[in-house]
Every structure is written in C-alpha cells, then in structure tokens.
Structure 1
Amino acid sequence: MVEKKYEWIDGAKLEDHSKRKHKILRQYIFDYLMVRCKIPKQEKFRLAIVDGFAGGGRYRCGTPGSPLIFLEELMRATEEVNLRRSISGLGNVDIECLLIFNDLSKDAISLLKSHIIPIQIKIKEICPRLYVCIRYLNDTFEIAYPKIKVFLDQGRYRSVIFNLDQCGHSCVERNTIVDIMISYPAAEIFYTFVISSLLAFLQKNNPKILRLQLGYLGLDSSDTEILNGLMSQRDWLGTAEKIVFDAFRSCAPYVSPFSINNPNGWKYWLIHFANSYRARQVYNNILHDNATLQAHFGRSGLNMLSYDPRHDEGTLYLFDTSGRISAKTQLIRDIPRLVTDIGEAISVNDFYKRIYNITPAHTDDVHAAIIENPDLEVITPGGGERRKANTIKSQDIIKLKSQKSFFHNFNSQ
C-alpha cells in the first residue's frame, strides 16, 4: 500500500474519516478535563499532549486540524471547569499543558507555527488559568519518540495523551505503543490505521492466525485486494474488529477496537488505548453522544467480541438509540451471569474493571440494567440500597438477591 502524504502548503483536503475522528477528539479532550478537574481541593492539573503527525494546522477548507483542536478545547475546558467550580463554591484550578507537535514535513511545521501564534496570544489575553508550553519536532515519529520521552520525563508528566494519526500503517511500531502505555501511569493513545495494512502485516508475521480469522470467508490470506471489496459487508466488520483487538489487546489494559463508520466500507480504524477503565468509560459515552461516527459489529452487551460469523447473526452497533435499546436488553441478561460467575457479589469498582474491555455500552445503560434487574441489588457502603441508576457509586456493592426470579432461572439454562 502506498502511504498518502498531505501537501499542507498547497492546502490539504479534509477527508471524511478525519472529520469524524476530529469530532471525537474534540469532545474527548473537553470531557477528559471535566473529569480530571473535579477534586474539591485541587489547585492544579498537569498534562501533556503529543501529536505525532501534527500537520499544518488547517485544511484547505479552513477547518482546524488536531493541534488547533487541542488548543481550542483546552481553552474551552479551562473556562468551563472554573465556572462550574465557582458555582459550586470551589477554588479555581490552573491547567498546565505541554504540547509536543511533530511532523516529518518542514513546510507543515512552519505553517503550523503560523496558525498557532494567534491562539497563543489569545490564551494569554482571555484564559489566565491555562498555561501552555509548545515544543516542535521535525522528524519521523519513531526517531522523534526518544526526544518526546525526554521532554515528558523532564516535566515528570504522568497524564499523557498521544494522537497518532499516521498517514499510512508503518509509522508507529507496536513496541512503541507498549512503551508509551507502561511509561506513563495515565497514558492514553488515539491510533489510526488502515485495516488492509494490518492484514498485510499479519500475513507476513502471523499467517496462521490470519488464515483462521478469514477462513469462513473462503479467502486465501494472501489476497488482500479481494478483502478491500468485502469491507462494506457487515460480517466483515465483525471479523476485522476481532483481528484488530487480537493484534493490540496486550498493548494496554483497555483497548477500544471500533472502526470509523464509513458508508462506503469500514477501512479506517481509530483505536483508543488506556490504562484506566475510567478513560474507556468516558470514551464509550462520547461515542454514544456522537452516534454513527464509529461502528461495532457483534454483541452490544458484555462479551462484545464473542460473535462468531460461522454460527451467529451479529448486529451493527452505531452507538445510536436503537443500539442502546439492544445493549440494555443484553446487559440485563449478561450482568447477573457475570456476578454469578464471580461469586454472588462484586464491588462496582471491580465490576467496571472487568467489563470495560468487553462492552461498547454507555454507562447509563449499564447502571439502568443493574437497577432494573429483578435479581440484582446495589448496596451502599453504609448498608443501604440504591434505588436509582444515576446514584450508583464505584464504592457500592452489586449483589445477587437471595430470592432468584423466574427470569434468572430461565436465563441460567
């Protein structure tokens, strides 16, 4: 596959898959800061954002690229965080952010600087609680990465977000992803690639696994050109998602393997890696707030990747209203089974840790499925019982009721 290069000086075209990804990125950064700046006595929050393929800052149509999106959302979130804290009678929070922008193109970096200078001036004028430090690098990502680590280590950053929107498929090594996730306790990565490129990689490195994954399609693993023609089929999405997850599941505790939804076929994957279930929880919720931007094919409750194309009829889950209805139905069946397997009771915190790598569901749907289930109860630390889904806390306990319903007996068979 020939990698596509953006010509930023002539005006890069904004592709549909990038537009969809940018919408998710924009909301995620905002919601991320809303969550991380809730501690009542907090006075400061420090983070670093690394854009490994930063580009020139604006597309031909004038739409901002990811570096400008990060700066815009940092401003918006800083103002909103402190407004909410003021209303609640809490003190202000200063947000300090190191931004590292790398691109192989010198023209792109030069153009990016010209777009960022006005935003830096604006931040100093109207956003006094936001402090940004910007570093520019001009190299391939793998060569730039050791320099990036020096910047991060010097500043002792623990909360780091990497945006790795490569133009091809071979610009970021798998070992580098692993290194990022183990080097920073609160690391997260947004990683983009083309599925056909992953297949080519697996064909060379693990053809046996690829043959097993593609056997039901009746294809030879060497024929990736035919695979491109199948990417519009729904069952193909289910298989591709499994391939993606299996290839990257050991890179981080939480891996979101959903593809960018494209009416012409699922070609681009936007994978989210995280060390914390809370990050995956926020990410799932954002996908539901932006329905149809990403797609999942298979189950919508727990065990989302248990779909077997040879035996099951999977469903397309676009994080929309109909998908959420389906998810809730499956969750009401799945959650009691999980609690039973564990041993009758589990803390909500441990429950979250177990489920957020195996479900695309929204937090509200998970909570509703627990409260509405006739066989479950949620007990507070003080011994009381939760009656409403929106009151469930991580320190609560989910228990099976001693008197099982007919519903439970029916679903245990």
Structure 2
Amino acid sequence: MVEKPYAWADGAKLEEHSKSKHKILREYFFDYLAVRCRRPQQERFRLSIVDGFAGGGRYSCGTPGSPLIFIEELKRASESVNAQRAAEGLALIEIECLLILNDASKAAVELLKSNVAPMQADIAASCPKLHVRAEYLNETFEAAYPKIKGLLEQGKYKSVLFNLDQCGHTHVERSTILDIINSYPSAEIFYTFVISSLIAFLRKDQPLRLQQQLLPLGVSANNLSALEGLMGRKDWLGAAEKIVFEAFHLYAPFVSPFSINNPDGWRYWFVHFARSYRARQVYNNILHKNATMQAHFGRSGLNMLSYDPRQAEGMLYLFDDPGRATAKEQLLSDIPRVISEAGDAMSMTEFYESIYNLTPAHADDIHSAIIENPDLEVITPAGGGRRKANTIGAGDIVKLRNQKSFFPLFFEAGSIGKK
C-alpha cells in the first residue's frame, strides 16, 4: 500500500483516521500536562515536544494539525492549571516548552512557520506563565534525529514527547524508537503507521514467526495480497494486534497496540510508547472518553492478548459502555489471580506496573473491581481500609482476604504422597 505525502502548499485534505488521532492526541496532551503540573510544591515544568512529520500546520478545511494542537493545548492547560492553583492558594507554575518541528518538505516547513508565529505572539502577550520556543528542521526524520538529540541534550530536557505521524511506509527505524525511550527519563512516543508496511518488514526480517502469526487466518507469509480482504474482519484485528505488540513490546515498558477504528478496515495503527504505567493509565482513560475511535479484539480484562482465534470467539472492544461492562466481569476474577501470583499482597504501584501493559481497562473499572471483590481488601499506608474506589492511591496495599482458592497449584502438587 503506497501513500502519497500531503501536498501542504496546495491544501492538504484531512482524512477521517487523522481526525481520530488528533482528538486523542489533543485530549491526552492536556491531561498529560495536568498530571505533570500537579505537585503543590512545583513552580516550574520543562518539556520538549518533537513533531517528526509536522506538516504545514493547517489542513485545507482550516483544521489545525498536530503542531498547532500542541500549542493550543499548552496554552489551555497552562491557564487551567494556574487557575486551579490560584484557587487553592498555591504558587503559579511556569511551563517552558521547546517545540522541535521537522518535515521533509521545505514548502510545508515554511507554511508551518507562518502558522506558528502568530500563536507564539499570542502566548507571549496573553499567557505570561507559558514560554514556547520553536526550532525548525527540514529533513527526513532519520536524518534529522541526531540534530534533534543534540537540541534535547543541550537543553537537558528529561520530559520528551515525540509525535511520529508517518505517511504510509515506515520512515522511523525501530532502533530509533528504542533509543528515544532509553535516552530520556520521561519519554513518550505516539507512532503512526500502516499495518501493511509492518507486515512487509516482518516478511523479510522474521518470515517464520510471521507465518505462525498469520496461520489462523489462512494467509501465507509469501502471499499477503489476501490480507486486503481480511482487514475488516474482527479476527484479523486480533491477529494484527498480537503482531504489533510482539514487534514492539521490547522497545518500551508500556506499549498500547490499538488500531484506529476505521470504517474501511483496521489498517492504520496509532501506538503509544511510554516508560511509566501512569502514562498508559492516562492513555487508557482517554480512549474511553473517545469510545469507538480505537479498537481491540480479544479479552478486556488483564490478559488482553490471550485470545486464540482457533479456540474461541473473541470480543470487539471499542472502549464503550458495553465493553466496560464485560471488562468489569473479567477484572473481578483476573485481579485476585494477579495478587495470588505475587503471594497474597502487592502495593498498588507494583500492581499497576504488572498489569498496564496487558489491559485496555479504565482505571475506574479496575478500582471498582478491587473494592467490590469480596476476596480483596485495600489497606492505606496508615493501616486503615479503603471503602471507596475513587480513594485508592498508588501507596496503598491490595491484599487477598482469603487466598485459599487462589493458592498456586505447586502447593497442592508438593503435598502429593504426604500423609
């Protein structure tokens, strides 16, 4: 599948799948800033945003592209956070952001500059606690990456968000994804690609593994033309999600492998890489606020990729209310098993870190399933008990009340032959 790059100078058309990406990106970035500026003692937050395929800034319909979305949400979040802090009697927080905007098209970069400049002027005049500096590069992303690293290292940025929204084929090396995640203490990546380009890469790089992954669909790794007719099927989504996760799960501690829910089939993938469970938690919650925009096929509890198309019928999870109801049912039995595998108790931080790479569930549903489960209790740092789901904190302990039914099987096996 070959896609033409956007002709920004002539007026780029905004596609439906891009609308979905932009809405999720906008809402996630606002929440990201709200979370990162939450500490009462904090008076300054520094971050850098790298848009590797920035484009011209606005589509032919006038809708903003990702660079302008970032700037709009920076201003909105700065005003919102500081209004809340002022109401609470806290010191206002300064936000300093370095925008690194790259595009291989010189015409796109020049157009982008003209779209960004008035927004920077508006911020300088109306939002004194927000400081936005823009650096522009005009190269392919891989050629620009060493310069991007140099700018980030020069500014000693630790919080870095990359938006890598490619057009069509894979223009980002997987080794670069790994380098980004490993280079910055708080790094996140939004990574867009067409699934056919990943399949083509794996056919050359890992043909036997790909053959095993496609076997349940009756597709040969040597003849992938049949995939075009399968991309609208639910079992294709389940198989593709496993392929995506297995291809990328070693590149970051937390990988969100969900496809954009497109009417013409699951071919566009919007993957989120993060170093912390908190980022994945916020991302899952944003997907539920935007139900039906991304899709998952399989289980909706704590083992989302355990679905086997050869053994059972899976479920299409669209982050909507029916999906959440099913997730809740599975969480009620899945969570005690996770605790049992650790012994009989875990800190909530340990619990989050163990589950968030393998669940699409909303945090509220996870917390409710814990509180409502008669086999579980949540203990506060002071030794008290939690009674409400919305009061559970990362410093709490989740514990089995009665673990008899959850003992590992090896305890029973060890007793065989004893009198």
Q: TM-score, length-normalised on structure 2?
A: 0.96
Residue type at the aligned position of 1:258: F
2:123, 2:185 → 1: CA distance? Answer: 29
2:161 is the counterpart of 1:145: no
Shift of 1:226: 1.1
Residue 133 (structure 2) aligns with: 133
Identity of aligned residues (%): 68
2:243 is the counterpart of 1:258: no
What's the CA shift string for 1:53-74, capped at 9, x where partnerless? 0000000111000000000000
What's the CA shift string for 1:13-67, capped at 9, x where partnerless? 0011111000001001100010000111101000000000000000011100000
Alignment of 1:171-186 (within 5 A): 171-186=171-186
Residue 307 (structure 2) aligns with: 307
Residue 327 (structure 1) aligns with: 327
Shift of 1:145: 0.2
2:380, 2:218 → 1: CA distance? Answer: 53
Q: Does structure 2 conserve the Cα–Cα contact (< 8 Å) formed by 1:196 and 1:228?
A: no
Alignment of 1:13-412 (within 5 A): 13-402=13-402
Secondary structure in 2 matching 1:269: strand
Q: Does structure 2 conserve the Cα–Cα contact (< 8 Å) formed by 1:162 and 1:190?
A: yes
2:93, 2:251 → 1: CA distance? Answer: 33
How has the CA–CA distance of structure 1 residues 49 and 378 changed in structure 2, closer, same or farther, with 3 Å as cutoff? same
Which residues of structure 1 form unaligned runs of 5+?
none
What's the CA shift string for 1:63-104, capped at 9, x where partnerless? 000000000000000000001111111110000000000000
Q: Does structure 2 conserve the Cα–Cα contact (< 8 Å) formed by 1:287 and 1:294?
A: yes
What's the CA shift string for 1:211-246, capped at 9, x where partnerless? 100111222112222101101000110000000000
Q: Does structure 1 conserve the Cα–Cα contact (< 8 Å) formed by 2:298 and 2:317?
A: yes
Q: Does structure 2 conserve the Cα–Cα contact (< 8 Å) formed by 1:375 and 1:404?
A: no
1:393, 1:9 → 2: CA distance? Answer: 50
Residue type at the aligned position of 1:226: A
What's the CA shift string for 1:279-329, capped at 9, x where partnerless? 000000000011111000000000100010100211000000111111111
Q: Does structure 1 conserve the Cα–Cα contact (< 8 Å) formed by 2:2 and 2:169?
A: no
2:225, 2:165 → 1: CA distance? Answer: 23
1:66, 1:82 → 2: CA distance? Answer: 24
Residue type at the aligned position of 1:380: T
1:22, 1:230 → 2: CA distance? Answer: 27
2:307, 2:75 → 1: CA distance? Answer: 42
1:221, 1:209 → 2: CA distance? Answer: 9
Secondary structure in 1 matching 2:113: helix
Secondary structure in 1 matching 2:250: helix
Shift of 1:403: 7.3
Residue type at the aligned position of 1:269: W
Secondary structure in 1 matching 2:45: strand
1:403, 1:15 → 2: CA distance? Answer: 52
Q: TM-score, length-normalised on structure 1?
A: 0.97
Secondary structure in 2 matching 1:251: coil
Secondary structure in 2 matching 1:201: helix
1:243, 1:207 → 2: CA distance? Answer: 12
Q: Does structure 1 conserve the Cα–Cα contact (< 8 Å) formed by 2:178 and 2:252?
A: yes
Secondary structure in 2 matching 1:125: helix
Secondary structure in 1 matching 2:377: strand
Residue type at the aligned position of 2:185: P
Task: Give the ranges of 4+ consecutive aligned residues of structure 1 lying more than 6 Å apart after TM superposition.
Answer: none
What's the CA shift string for 1:249-308, capped at 9, x where partnerless? 000000000000112210100000000000000000000011111000000000100010
1:162, 1:358 → 2: CA distance? Answer: 23
Secondary structure in 2 matching 1:377: strand
Shift of 1:3: 3.5
Q: Does structure 1 conserve the Cα–Cα contact (< 8 Å) formed by 2:377 and 2:401?
A: yes
1:14, 1:327 → 2: CA distance? Answer: 34
Shift of 1:404: 6.0
Q: Does structure 1 conserve the Cα–Cα contact (< 8 Å) formed by 2:299 and 2:314?
A: yes
Q: Does structure 1 conserve the Cα–Cα contact (< 8 Å) formed by 2:181 and 2:274?
A: yes
Shift of 1:130: 0.3
Shift of 1:152: 0.2
1:183, 1:403 → 2: CA distance? Answer: 42
Shift of 1:169: 2.3
Residue type at the aligned position of 2:65: G
How has the CA–CA distance of structure 1 residues 299 and 403 changed in structure 2, closer, same or farther, with 3 Å as cutoff? closer
1:330, 1:315 → 2: CA distance? Answer: 12
2:179, 2:109 → 1: CA distance? Answer: 26
Two-structure CA RMSD over aligned residues (Å): 1.3
Q: Does structure 1 conserve the Cα–Cα contact (< 8 Å) formed by 2:288 and 2:320?
A: yes
Secondary structure in 2 matching 1:9: helix
Residue 411 (structure 2) aligns with: none
2:141, 2:270 → 1: CA distance? Answer: 18
Secondary structure in 1 matching 2:162: strand
2:315, 2:79 → 1: CA distance? Answer: 41
Residue 412 (structure 2) aligns with: none
1:387, 1:404 → 2: CA distance? Answer: 23
Residue type at the aligned position of 2:59: Y
